[in-house]
Amino acid sequence: MTRSCLAIILAAGESTRMKSSMSKVLHPVAGRPMIAHVVSSLADAGISSVALVVGRDAEKVAEAAGGSAEISTFVQTERLGTGHAVLAAREAIAGGYDDILVVFGDTPLITAAPLLAARQALAEGQDVVVIGFQTPEPTGYGRLIVENGELLAIREEKDATPEERRITYCNGGLMAINGARALEFLGHIGNANAKGEYYLTDIVEVVRAKGGKAVAVEAPAAELMGCNNRAELALIEAEWQKRRRHELMVSGVSMIAPETVFLAFDTQIAQDVTIEPNVVFGPGVSIESGAVIHAFSHIEGARIATDATVGPFARLRPGANLGEGSKVGNFCEVKKAEIGAGAKVNHLTYIGDAFVGENTNIGAGTITCNYDGVNKHVTHIGANAFIGSNSSLVAPVSIGDGALVASGSVITEEVPADAVAFGRARQDVKPGRAKLLRERYQAEKAARKTDR
């Protein structure tokens, strides 16, 4: 839209019911603070000017809300209701915006669509637009009193008549206000109520008393879900995950048991990827076409190239970069490592701070010993190499192209290309010694029983 808009995010609540040491809006949904989701949706609606009204954890909340938006922070020192909270941003409201949009920092499921619908109604001449929702269970919500398409009032349940309580169109809390008259309307909200607070919902009747126009626009109920406690946080997380899984499956991603797959806010998965059950994605994951993620894998901060396979029971940590057609198998962990095209890291293996060349095979039980107790060091393994099972590669160390490391080796020095390296003690066989040892041990055990 060509109209200018200021979004005011109310995030000054004490979060008492969250029973938390940090502000409610900092709690994550899909690995991202709630308030960052709200700011992202504002950006999707073309809104770049944001006034953030904060209380506790003000600096942390402002940092979490950051991004491409121009954010001004205002501290609400007293808690005197939502109308009072909005006026904490009086200086920003006075900036001459066409539209003022009021949203909450704890509604991370809101999308751009209802925000744009509310702004469109302002553009068509309305002075206040309330975003509402329909629900078959309206108990506890303020009702939207609509007549002939006009919004007459928002009636709190305790003040509603029996007939009004049967209304299923409820207040979602978010609203848009005519920027040219916003301070005028907000300044006339009174506090003549039991709590002595200034309720933003009263703005509808203020607008109508001044000859202005008010309407409501509808949004899906799920988008207006707010968060007051950990149980509601879990419901919001579940709804976000359901929405994102659906988007990915529609785009061509196969999920065998989608309800068991958990995604991060920035997970990117291309079409023709298959995700098996019980897979968890942390932030920073991208997966290219044709890859397969087997069951019970945990992936964070990793890139997985075309036709690569991961798991089952694999862990990819930040910096893992799997090349085309590579494989990281069961009970393997990869951290800050390049796995070349066609390379295989099959079983019970740890590869960290390393480079593994194309078509190299890493045997079961191999580890890169990358940490000396103070610093991390790099292991470099060339292309077409073969690392035998149960080998320890003590970094910093380099193994050349086509080299072979014998099983059970501890490698501490460079292995040249096409060389074979043995880093283990010579085998010594003592014929008959096992029989003698068993007899000795059995005699010792019998003696202990006699002593008792």
Q: Is residue 27 part of a domain?
A: yes
Lowest-pLDDT range, 6-15, 256-265, 408-417? 6-15
Mean pLDDT of 340-353: 97
42 and 150 both lie in a single domain: yes
Q: Is residue 400 part of a domain?
A: yes
Q: Which of 151, 181, 146 is nearest to 167 (CA)?
A: 146
pLDDT tier, 36 (very low <50, low <70, confident <90, very high otherwise): very high
What DSSP letter does each residue of 414-436 carry, written as one string? -B-TT-EE--SPPP---TTHHHH
pLDDT at 14: 76
Q: Which of 171, 190, 224 is at the close of a domain?
A: 224
Q: Is residue 232 part of a domain?
A: no
Between the CA atoms of 195, 199, 202 and 207, what dihedral angle is there, to the nearest 10 degrees?
140
DSSP 142: P
219 and 167 both lie in a single domain: yes
Q: Which of 355, 428, 426 is nearest to 393 (CA)?
A: 355
CATH number for the domain including 9?
Answer: 3.90.550.10
Q: How far apart are CA 279 and CA 257, in angstroms?
A: 10
Beta-strand relationship, 315-316 and 327-328 = unpaired
CATH number for the domain including 327?
Answer: 2.160.10.10
- Torsion 27-30-31-36 (CA) sign: negative
Instruction: Render pLDDT for 149-174 as a digit per residue (tens, 0 to 9).
Output: 999 999 988 888 999 999 999 999 99
Mean pLDDT of 204-210: 94
55 and 170 both lie in a single domain: yes
What positions carry a catalytic annotation? Answer: 347
287 and 395 both lie in a single domain: yes
262 and 346 both lie in a single domain: yes
Say how many domains are in the chain: 2
Does 292 have pLDDT greater than 90?
yes
Instruction: Render pLDDT for 307-330 as a digit per residue (tens, 0 to 9).
Output: 999 999 999 999 999 999 999 999
Mean pLDDT of 329-358: 98
107 and 49 both lie in a single domain: yes
Residue span of the structural domain in which 407 resides: 248-421
380 and 311 both lie in a single domain: yes
Beta-strand relationship, 298-299 and 286-287 = unpaired
Q: Is residue 359 part of a domain?
A: yes
368 and 405 both lie in a single domain: yes
Residues 6+ apart with CB under 8 A from 167: 138, 143, 144, 145, 160
Q: Is residue 450 part of a domain?
A: no
97 and 189 both lie in a single domain: yes
Is 214 within 8 Å of 147 (Cβ atoms)?
no
Q: Is residue 398 part of a domain?
A: yes
Q: Is residue 184 part of a domain?
A: yes
pLDDT at 67: 64
Does 380 have pLDDT greater than 90?
yes
Record the pTM: 0.90
Does 48 have pLDDT greater than 90?
no
205 and 353 both lie in a single domain: no
207 and 287 both lie in a single domain: no
Three-state DSSP class for 30?
coil
Does the bond joining 396 to the residue before it have cis omega, within 30 degrees of 0?
yes
272 and 394 both lie in a single domain: yes
Q: Is residue 438 part of a domain?
A: no
Is 287 within 8 Å of 281 (Cβ atoms)?
no
Buried b (16+ CB within 10 A) or exposed e, 300-328: bbbbbbbbbbbbbbbbbbebbbbbbbbbb
Beta-strand relationship, 28-29 and 32-33 = antiparallel
